[in-house]
Amino acid sequence: MTATTDGSTGATLKPLAAAASETDDITIPPAAAGVPEAAARATRRATDFLLSLQDAQGWWKGDLETNVTMDAEDLLLRQFLGILDEETARAAALFVRGEQREDGTWATFYDGPGDLSATIEAYVALRLAGDAPDAPHMAKAAEWIRSRGGIAAARVFTRIWLALFGWWKWDDLPELPPELIYFPTWVPLNIYDFGCWARQTIVPLTIVSAKRPVRPAPFALDELHTDPAVPNPPRPLAPAASWDGAFQRLDRALHAYRRVAPRRLRRAAMNTAARWIIERQENDGCWGGIQPPAVYSVIALYLLGYDLEHPVMRAGLESLDRFAVWREDGARMIEACQSPVWDTCLAVIALADAGVPADHPQLVKAADWMLGEQIVRPGDWSVKRPGLPPGGWAFEFHNDNYPDIDDTAEVVLALRRVRHHDPERVERAIGRGVRWNLGMQSKNGAWGAFDVDNTSAFPNRLPFCDFGEVIDPPSADVTAHVVEMLAVEGLTHDPRTRRGIQWLLAEQEADGSWFGRWGVNYVYGTGSVVPALTAAGLPASHPAVRRAVTWLESVQNDDGGWGEDLRSYRYVREWSGRGASTASQTAWALMALLAAGERESKAVERGIAWLAATQREDGSWDEPYFTGTGFPWDFSINYHLYRQVFPLTALGRYVHGDPFAEKHGVGNAAARAEQPAAQTSPAEVKGS
């Protein structure tokens, strides 16, 4: 394995031979060249670069960068378990220290504001690594923390970590009773009312909450309190008639219940929760393919007597080690998750749309790998859909319990672009995926990411849930990807597809954009929805498409690119569609405009010119900005491969048009007015 330019790992493979051109041997600055010529050159270079990143097994994976709380909590876990070693602490501290801003804080996304909880956790991690509290960088951080209310103002998850070492009182944290595991699905606040990521975190935390462990703290944190004499100031109660007030009083009742809870019932509940956790451990030892549930699951099982040499614990700790990315300077960064399936299907789409032959060996190898990743056993989604056969794809290497609808749609779109040597195998896999996606449609006609109708309003009201999204309602971006996939599969006129289209049209913002749940933000939502609507037969003249085009043109930056800051999730009016130009967001805007028939427009020309002009000599782009989300605003992601796959997709569609759409009779390239009503395709397996 070799380190690649963008920080991912991959085997070095021979790039696709670019077509001969008179300009290949001449260095032409993109700004000085004509836009079509510059686009063609940029496409060839980006194609070769992306092909060079593929792993020998067929997948692509870029680093998934989040924020330093992952690194801090990893150190706190190891300190709690008594396995923190000097080398790990040194390498983690090197990374955390390097992320500190001039004002002494840590942000949760590039160029974002200082975040109180992230700064507290980073500070504690550096103390664990040996940084002295009176060192200038530490004193500056502590001063800022106190000015923002100190530890008492931090989010619940941060205070839970501090409570593990006696730096915060368990009594001053929201109560999470393990008896929650017994709630049937029809009872409000049962575990399946929560999104899958929250569910996997809450179940182990009910054990932690019941046990309330305290390990001896290696040092005090008085410097992080506004008043060390009163480290746990009482929080005011909201009015009883308000939802917040009602749930605060419910929490008080749960604290009272804790004192009288029958011991046998509590012990049985914790053991049931432990079985639930163990049953969901993946083959590689992780939980859900994401770091937070793995961390809390390891702690919960440890508190129940599982020693570190137990196979479940050993596998869990080994899986956490695989989330570590070691950098050339010796720093160690922890990924919250890994995205090989997502990265691979997007890479295949980009390469195919850029003109790589459908039977190119590297595309076939990618298809083979994706086919092997299809999930053919039930997971937690089957609680709401017990009769639905499996057939989805997950985001990660190992996550059979939680395939997601977005990945499944994009994998189907990728597989359709590959000429495979076993077409029957591909058809069977696509059929299973289409059937599963159709079966996961919510009752409003749209699709969420992991679950069906995961829309209860109650989980977000819990005092415990003061950070990020804890439910998984349908979103425009996921729904758009499913609609686009269904259109390609010949299901445009299926009633289920039409309901999805109607939902998307109803969700359009007044300014013409769409909200982006899993990417930043209105540029991502709009860049997802417009190609889906046109693939499903809406003409470029449709009012919804024209409003989207007008909005995209209105937010184009003066340099020709597009960008959107994560602040748009919090301050919509000021930041919607506004921010420094990035390669991925420029590509999303271009994909929408091209789908809307705007290839000859000035906006497209300027956007393509910006991509060509900002491309590096090796065919890559630089993108320090975070353009992905785990939770809008609260948890942001920099997918290091986004800067490669999406610009190449946009460039490819500009240079080559959209032959894929023409082949499948979808989109503005096809004569939709003459298109007959679509029938159920062979890919749709009977029984959907």
Return the active site residues.
406
In contact, 598 and 551? CB cutoff 8 Å? no
Q: Which residues are CB-contacts of 577 (< 8 A; sequence separation ≥ 6)?
A: 513, 522, 523, 551, 552, 554, 555, 562, 564, 568
Q: Would you mind telling me the total number of residues written for the chain in this entry? A: 688
Sheet of strand 628-631, all strands in order from the earlier edge strand to the far edge: 64-65, 635-639, 628-631
Query: How far is the CA of 273 from the CAs of 52, 172, 663, in angstroms?
Result: 45, 24, 51
Q: How far apart are the first and last CA of the chain?
A: 42
Query: How far is the CA of 503 from the CAs of 15, 539, 632, in angstroms?
Result: 42, 17, 21
The CA distance from 287 to 296, in Å, is: 10
The CA distance from 120 to 4, in Å, is: 33
Per-residue DSSP letter, 235: P
User: How many CB atoms within 10 Å of residue 602?
Assistant: 11
In contact, 453 and 447? CB cutoff 8 Å? no
Element (H, E) at 628: strand 628-631
b or e along 462-497 (b: 16 or more beta carbons within 10 Å of the residue's beta carbon)? bbbbbebbbbbbbbbbbbbbbbbbbbbbbbbbbebb
DSSP letters spanning 167-184: SS-GGGS----GGGGG--
The CA distance from 501 to 672, in Å, is: 16
The CA distance from 584 to 611, in Å, is: 10
In contact, 476 and 519? CB cutoff 8 Å? no
